[in-house]
Chains A and B, each alone.
Chain A
Amino acid sequence: SQKIEQNSEALNIQEGKTATLTCNYTNYSPAYLQWYRQDPGRGPVFLLLIRENEKEKRKERLKVTFDTTLKQSLFHITASQPADSATYLCALNNAGNMLTFGGGTRLMVKP
């Protein structure tokens, strides 16, 4: 069956460290993968999109990698800050025009 897995346990890190979140998928062949940030009770906010032919994408302190052989995307936040605390969702295109989300990983950055 198709599955998108993100670590359901919260990730706790110290301010200033690099946070690394994982998104693994099975039985999908996505053309691209997206990462979103969601704060409690609010709608997700788009962060980055990476296509299947791209290995890495960066935006300010954010970096995403996409390994279609491993069927995995890694999301990194360098020099993390308490304001980065949120739930991070990965999403990939499914059957062309649908978008399927992972369950999200909650990140807690402690000062």
Chain B
Amino acid sequence: EAQVTQNPRYLITVTGKKLTVTCSQNMNHEYMSWYRQDPGLGLRQIYYSMNVEVTDKGDVPEGYKVSRKEKRNFPLILESPSPNQTSLYFCASSPGTGIIQYEQYFGPGTRLTVT
């Protein structure tokens, strides 16, 4: 089944404790992206990747890191999480290269709470 998977689905952590949220897609998509969704602020793009070893900042990259060493995986790293990073996170992938003009396939989401 074609899908985007994220792990963990739920995570409660403490301020400053490094964490990684994994994202994997089995559709051989070039484009992958991370979003966070907050009430009243909607979906905001954190980072995206056009292909292996190619990443770029979205609208809200501060406090996050990403890497794209393999085409199928795009982990999101929070080196020193803070309470304002409490949010619902979505990973997404999309076929094609260049300017995105294809639909995005979203993962099920990771609900992160930082205390």
From B45, B99, B106, contact of A44 by CB (8 A):
B106
Interchain CA distance A41-B106 in the complex, whole Å:
12
Q: Which residues of A contact B31 (CB under 8 A)?
A: 97
Interchain CA distance A31-B98 in the complex, whole Å:
12
Interchain CA distance A45-B48 in the complex, whole Å:
18
Interchain CA distance A103-B44 in the complex, whole Å:
10
A77 vs chain B, min Cβ distance (A) = 18
Q: Give the residue name and chain of the A residue nearest to B57 (CB).
A: A98
CB–CB B42/A103 < 8 A: yes
Q: Which of A77-111 contact B (CB under 8 A)?
A: 89, 91, 93, 96-104
CB–CB A45/B101 < 8 A: no
Interface of chain A: mostly helix, strand, loop or mixed:
strand
Interchain CA distance A32-B98 in the complex, whole Å:
14
Interchain CA distance A72-B40 in the complex, whole Å:
21
Asked whether B50 is an interface residue with its Cβ less than 8 Å from the other chain, the reply is yes
CB–CB A43/B90 < 8 A: yes
CB–CB A49/B101 < 8 A: yes
From B45, B98, B106, contact of A100 by CB (8 A):
B45
Asked whether A34 is an interface residue with its Cβ less than 8 Å from the other chain, the reply is yes
From B59, B100, B105, B107, contact of A93 by CB (8 A):
B100
Q: Which residues of B contact A98 (CB under 8 A)?
A: 45, 48, 58-59
From A31, A44, A97, A100, contact of B56 by CB (8 A):
A97
CB–CB B109/A31 < 8 A: no
B5 vs chain A, min Cβ distance (A) = 11
B residues bordering A, Cβ < 8 Å?
A: 4, 31, 33, 35, 40-45, 48, 50, 56, 58-59, 88, 90, 92, 98-109
